[in-house]
Structure 1
Amino acid sequence: MKRYLKKADFEKKIEERLFLVKGDKIFLLNEAGTIIWEILDELPSEEHIKKFISQYMKEKTKVKSDIEKKIFSFIKELKKNKLIEEVEK
């Protein structure tokens, strides 16, 4: 199973926002991005995240699909910016 491994050099939370540093770049995550970043500690794989979403959105298929797309789009951006990487467990 592939897992997500955080690769930020530094992180600092101020109120509900999170600043991440990778190399010479600084990223600012909004509240939703901060929640996803924090969830990666407990749900470090795509399978875990999908299961988590399914448990809380059992009857809202359209909403669940939209949320899943947004979360994985955000995770794709994190990977693109080398803030996380997928590794084999």
Structure 2
Amino acid sequence: MRDSKRLAEIRKLPCVRCGNPNSQAAHSNSAKHGKGRGIKSSDLFVIPLCAICHAAFDRFELGNRAESEAMFEKWLVKTELMMNLKDQDDVF
């Protein structure tokens, strides 16, 4: 699934790992989220990471595959909370 609006909203959030305000939309590297050889996972499984954290995550420098998947799941929950808070701020 591709969702350019969601990706744009993710990019507005700070890095979920270090807080850097200049973030990128980082897709999951897990097959369970639709990742395959040459195929990005669904845009539903995207988190904000700065360029440095994104590169480290994609190269498995933050942990092995299992550890990276566990981190991503936690960051995905945090991202959804951040998006919900941002949506609430936009209302008020």
Q: TM-score normalized by structure 1? A: 0.43
Higher relative contact order (CA 8 A, sep 6+): 1
User: Larger Cα Rg: Structure 1 or Structure 2?
Assistant: 1
Q: TM-score normalized by structure 2? A: 0.42
